[in-house]
Chains A and B, each alone.
Chain A
Amino acid sequence: MPEEKLKSIDKATVELIDKAERENISTVFSRADELKPCPIGVEESCCKICSMGPCRLPRPKKGEGKVRVGVCGATIETIVARNFARKVAAGAAAHSDHAREVVQTFIKTARGEAQGFTIKDEIKLLAVALDFGIAVEGREIGDIARELGEKALNEFGRQEGELVNIGKAPLKRQELWRKLGVTPRGVDREIVEIMHRTHMGVDQDYRHLLQQASRAALADGWGGSMISTDLQDIMFGTPVPVLGSINLGVLKEDHVNVVVHGHEPLLPELLVVASRDPEIRRLAEKTGAKGINLAGMCCSANEILMRHGIPCAGNFLQQELALVTGAVELMTVDVQCEMQGLQSVAECFHTRLITTSDRAMIEGATHIEFHPEDGLDTAKKILKMAIENYPNRRHAVYIPDARQDMVVGFSHETINYLLGGLFRASYRPLNDNIMNGRIRGVAGVVGCNNVRTPHDSGHIAMIKELIKNDVIVLTTGCAAMACGKEGLLTPEAAKLYGGSGLAEVCEAVGIPPVLHLGSCVDNSRILMAATAMVKEGGLGDDISDLPAAGAAPEWMSEKAISIGQYFVASGVYTVFGTTWPTAGSEKVTRHLFEEYEELYKGMWAFEPDPVQAAQLMIRHIDKKRKALGIDKARDRVLFDMAMRRALD
């Protein structure tokens, strides 16, 4: 009998997969065993844009001279590039529609119309307002916020010009974007234009299609995602380091367990407030529970973890398993990455699945729509439902004994503070220690889980390899949660897993070797951190000069493609694992993997083996170190008076 494939490197996950199998509950793991990926779809060689097809263009067999094209004559390059561009459009749309919801709530908050929301970070409000060219002198906070909200909302529907946040990028990068014609004009426009260009019979030159993909992706990273991060920080507070805990063991048998799943932080913020309401707590106790236990799942978890230290039950592939414990009274979901399978798992237990976004319903689930005007009431209503459901537990509860502490809450502003304190805050120590070689480089490892790869294995293998080689890792999303469970988000991990140089810096600052920067829209924080490093000086004058690389070893969603594309277009070498969505065309793949280096000074790569992928990243980092002339140890410079006079 063949050895059974490892499903997860996380013990708690494996325990609950076994439990589900024993109890005959269908989960993503069992379904994946039953359903193999489509071999043509995996290479994106299928075109179903018009009803003359679908046209399948598998690679020509060996010795076959014929070049295959679709019935309209579309080449494999066009088909693959169109499919790729559409993934970017969907990913950018997801982040940006999330952002739009945030902006609209922000405006209501500024007007005092959003129940339970306030402006928490006034300093960041002023900073972002200034970026948007808003006069702040002598004005009321609410007034500034209102104008900022309106201006931010304009970014979505803008038709001409450039997105405001483009001005935050290093100057050299801005010039390159203009030269390449990829500076985004408006968030929605670039997405719509992809949908048009990829319609039957429009844009049929793969390079031109992918140029628009870059423009839409940049509208995501520097547009929608960044707006979302910034406005969320202003409303809910910019994260600062906080102690959190993670894994399914955060669920509590004797508490009313409410799992908050999805991506938008709006309702989750209010659930946090409501869960601390004395009346709600009294109600919970009345049912015999010891209290309400709020736990997060996916990026909603990251948002409330980063800002409040709310425990995190797990990442994408653990969503159904949380319910398999039998301990969850209620799970809320809003948008993105919520499996429809949740409902059938919930039905096996007493668990109630609540959809809360006006954009997302799940058949069979209860829909309680969130609106900012009465958000707090909604939150309380949901918690009451959970409390009422507590006595309905009908199965034996099984919660794995798995819970790991972690230090989270690293925004790019906080990193600035952490490296020098209130008085000397700057990125200088990071740049300095990169220049002197204690830190070899910086890697952004982000992205999803993918059931075709053993759960969390790609993230952990890659990140351990990177930190062992003195590469500091910035992480978000499900990758960050994988690190949390493995203990990599603790300062102690630096000595256990890090190279000696990185460990020394981590010990000096008191940080983990892997820094959790937030949810997947918060990848914009990585862009800002990279820009801050460029601006600090000594590491070149563009993001592409930095000894840095990006990766998503377990990606699965279209959002990941959009994120990858905006990182590449921002000058970052980016390696993806699992599968590669242009594998159907060598030319398109070569364009993204090689020609992009000429164009964007950043390019894609594909390597399913996470350790090999880490080695590719390290090789790229070393190449950049050499170009900067920091690949060799340099002599200490001693200063005399003449050198001091020459200082500016």
Chain B
Amino acid sequence: MSKIIASAAIRGAHKIFHKAEEKYCEALERFGPRQEVGFPNTAYYLPIIYAVTGIGVSRVEDMRSVLDICKKMIPSPVRENTPLPYLAPSLDAGMATFFAEEMIEAIRYLEEPNVYAANSEDPTEATVWLGAANDVIFRKRGVEFVDGTAPGFAAIVGAAPDSQTAARIALELQEKNLYVFMCADNGGKRFSQQLIEAGIQIGWPTRLVSFGPDIYQAVFAIGFACRVAMAFGGIKPGDYRRNLIYNKDRTYAFVLALGDVTDEWYANAAGAINWGFPTIADTPIPEVLPTGICTYEHVVSNIPHEQIVQKAVEVRGLRVQVASVPIPVSYGPAFEGERVRGEDIYLEMGGGRTVAVEWTTTKRMEEVEDGKVEVIGPDVGDVQPGMRLHFAMVAEVAGRNFQDDFEPILERQNHHLINQAQGIMHIGQRDIAWIRISKQAVEKGFRLEHIGRIIHAKYHQDFGAIFDKVQIKIYTVEEQVRGVLEKARASYDHRDARIEGMTDESIETFYSCVLCQSFAPNHVCVISPERTGLCGAYNWLDCRAAYEINPEGPNQPIQKGECIDERYGQFNGCNDYVRKASRQKIESVSLYSLMVDPMTTCGCCECIAAILPMCNGIMTVDRDFNDMTPCGMKFTTLAGSVGGGAQTPGFLGHSKYNITQKKFLKGDGGLLRIAWMPRRLKEEIMDRLRKRGEELGIPDFPEMIADETVAKTEEEVIGHITQKGHPCLTMEPLM
């Protein structure tokens, strides 16, 4: 701190604290002490207060004790001459500021229920302000922090001098894969509104998150970080030190203060330093350069707008690998969520109206000229805006290390790779691909060739170790497209048969996945052919390829060793590996059980299975299901109790695909134990579920599984499964 900053931060903390007290008294008067308060659909209460103090504020009256804590934490103003040390008191004051702001915001949700677009990822017609992320949004986005797709976030406070500058800063942050969390105003202007003025799509999908109009909504950004630590880092509420240091070491966030820094801004900036999040300002405020609480500098100021993003990243100590793709539009994960709609569409391919197919196949070395992209048929320039074309893209790959098994792995990347181009929307894969190219992209010079350029560049960047050359052919004439479709379909069938035929017994090597250890340091996934990764993103072949690509990377071969328990799927090689890789936190792990030594989860599992003791069965719920489940916990609460690398018998994180794999819960009775799952999940996996039921001799098994339309409580599940004669009722007792 400098004395000026500390003095201002402490003044700001006093002001915000008084506001919170006022709001609390009003709420007490208007709503009464027992009135429920909180942010929408979250199991983390007011997350900063919860993470730091362990206090779950759920009623107005709960705020009293937190206000008392704040009062003790905010020191007297800094004396002008011979002041007492002020760094520590101003950090404490900053923390109290966040507590106070969370309470102000919780009361605002009571007073003005429509001020934020609750449960929406995008601004609505009624409001541009998104407010606190609910747990579904938080988990979906949190996973990107965990797997490294998003290295952190920029909390932008205030506004740029004009909307063009705002747009430039936002684009630069997006290109660095960072989330942009926006709040507060500068002279009546707000960064979010500047982006809208510049015609930029804001909302969670484009990582440009308009939290709110005032400084108080800075707590939504910090609360997000607190939740990441609790959900994925396994850090308990109240364990403030670990939460803060976890975020300092792992969440690369920083504050960009744009405009005149008020006392309230200083108070928030001081608070953020507790998490190791520094402030970079565009105005000439005092700097705090000595290091220690943040990784590097604490406050850096007077940075020109064209340098501010680069400076911020450097001050935070972040290395961003930016993809270099030779296309005329911006490129990166931040553009994945951007939509191309109606008026904006220049060209559309697939989506049911025309054929669109993507196929990656192996060729001999001499057949491939690396980097060659051919467009055969009409291109963007040959059609009028709003038209459709057929589309077939064949990526021909060659290389000494390339194997047929890698084809689907590369091919599956096409969706992400193409979708990450600004102004290009990509949905689906294989023969159900769907591509839209926007007018804005075409205006910047985007042509079909560039889709090939993306594939060439990104295949090399991400998978360079497993192939040598790739060329791309894009067809847009129907006849040729249908020719490709036929060959591709034959290839898909061949691949599916091969993966279906693989069993855990048929191979000696499993793979680990410790990708998430950047956020969940004790969690280890063991991935076998019949147990795909719990996040749904990695199967055994993916891991094998990933290992070939990067032998030092997060996927390592595990010699499975001797099978020491066939029923539960325990292997001594696996156990030895997990013990070491979990930093001695986990002794042994079952691949096929939720009751005995279940595998841990980082928190980014697609589904969580939980025991239903009275049913003698098991339920599972996917992370998109937001309501209460029969086990008495919502997904988010379940994830809160089993995430972060803790082994919790009776609970298991798994992928959607895993449900219909043969070894799923084999030790506990297999798929036939499943008594409940959300309807949408059931429908999503229906074909495979039915097929698996047939294999098990119960063709109508999907109908025996209860869902929320027939059962919301465990009693109702019993009712349903008894009526249907569900097999779990007659199985050996689970407990």
Binding site for B on A (CB under 8 A): 241-243, 405-407, 417-425, 428-433, 436, 438, 490-492, 504-505, 507-511, 636-645, 647-648
B1 A492 Cβ-Cβ under 8 A: no
B85 A510 Cβ-Cβ under 8 A: yes
Q: How many residues of B contact A (CB 8 A)?
A: 56
Among B285-293, B400-408, B435-443, which stretch is in contact with chain A?
B285-293
B244 A424 Cβ-Cβ under 8 A: yes
- A420, B87: Cα distance in complex, Å: 7
List 9 A-B pairs, Cβ < 8 Å.
Answer: A243-B82, A420-B293, A422-B95, A428-B292, A491-B83, A509-B88, A638-B314, A640-B319, A647-B250
* CB-based closest 9 A-B pairs: A429-B292, A421-B91, A638-B319, A641-B148, A510-B86, A644-B518, A421-B88, A510-B85, A432-B292
A508 B85 Cβ-Cβ under 8 A: no
- A497, B424: Cα distance in complex, Å: 61
A433 B88 Cβ-Cβ under 8 A: no
Q: Which residues of A contact B88 (CB under 8 A)?
A: 417-422, 425, 509
- A644, B228: Cα distance in complex, Å: 15
B82 A492 Cβ-Cβ under 8 A: yes
From A242, A417, A436, A648, contact of B291 by CB (8 A): A436
A510 B87 Cβ-Cβ under 8 A: yes
- A533, B84: Cα distance in complex, Å: 23
With A407-B84, A420-B88 as known contacts, state yes or no: A638 contacts B318, CB within 8 Å: yes
Nearest opposing residue in chain A for B321, CB measure: A640
* Interface mask (B68-96 → A, CB under 8 Å = 1, otherwise 0): 00000100001101111111111110010
- A511, B78: Cα distance in complex, Å: 13
Binding site for A on B (CB under 8 A): 1-3, 6, 52, 73, 78-79, 81-92, 95, 148, 151, 240-241, 244-245, 249-250, 252, 274, 288-293, 295-296, 298, 313-314, 317-321, 514-515, 517-519, 521, 553-554, 583
Q: Which residues of B contact A407 (CB under 8 A)?
A: 82-85
Nearest opposing residue in chain A for B299, CB measure: A508
A504 B3 Cβ-Cβ under 8 A: no
From B79, B82, B85, B290, contact of A418 by CB (8 A): B85
B91 A423 Cβ-Cβ under 8 A: yes
- A642, B317: Cα distance in complex, Å: 14
Nearest opposing residue in chain B for A410, CB measure: B85
- A645, B318: Cα distance in complex, Å: 14
What distance in Å separates the Cβ of B117 from its nearest Cβ neighbour in chain A? 31
A423 B274 Cβ-Cβ under 8 A: yes
Nearest opposing residue in chain A for B73, CB measure: A422
Q: Which residues of A contact B320 (CB under 8 A)?
A: 640
Q: Which residues of A contact B79 (CB under 8 A)?
A: 243
Q: Which residues of B contact A490 (CB under 8 A)?
A: 82
What distance in Å separates the Cβ of A648 from its nearest Cβ neighbour in chain B? 7
B52 A423 Cβ-Cβ under 8 A: yes
With A417-B88, A418-B87, A638-B319 as known contacts, state yes or no: A509 contacts B1, CB within 8 Å: yes
From B6, B84, B91, B313, contact of A424 by CB (8 A): B91
A422 B291 Cβ-Cβ under 8 A: no
A648 B87 Cβ-Cβ under 8 A: no
B319 A639 Cβ-Cβ under 8 A: yes
Nearest opposing residue in chain A for B248, CB measure: A424
Nearest opposing residue in chain A for B240, CB measure: A423
Q: Which residues of A contact B95 (CB under 8 A)?
A: 421-423
Q: Which residues of A contact B86 (CB under 8 A)?
A: 509-510
What distance in Å separates the Cβ of B409 from its nearest Cβ neighbour in chain A? 20
A433 B292 Cβ-Cβ under 8 A: yes
With A422-B95, A509-B85 already in contact, 15 other A-B pairs whose C-beta atoms are closer than 8 Å: A242-B84, A418-B87, A420-B88, A423-B95, A424-B274, A429-B291, A433-B290, A436-B291, A491-B3, A491-B83, A508-B288, A510-B3, A638-B317, A638-B319, A644-B518
Interface centre among A405, A433, A643, A644 (most CB of B within 10 A): A644
What distance in Å separates the Cβ of B639 from its nearest Cβ neighbour in chain A? 21
- A241, B78: Cα distance in complex, Å: 13
What distance in Å separates the Cβ of B76 from its nearest Cβ neighbour in chain A? 12
From B52, B91, B290, contact of A504 by CB (8 A): B290
What distance in Å separates the Cβ of A245 from its nearest Cβ neighbour in chain B? 10
B314 A648 Cβ-Cβ under 8 A: no
From A417, A508, A648, contact of B290 by CB (8 A): A508
A422 B151 Cβ-Cβ under 8 A: no
A511 B85 Cβ-Cβ under 8 A: yes
With A491-B83, A647-B249 as known contacts, state yes or no: A504 contacts B289, CB within 8 Å: yes
Nearest opposing residue in chain A for B583, CB measure: A648
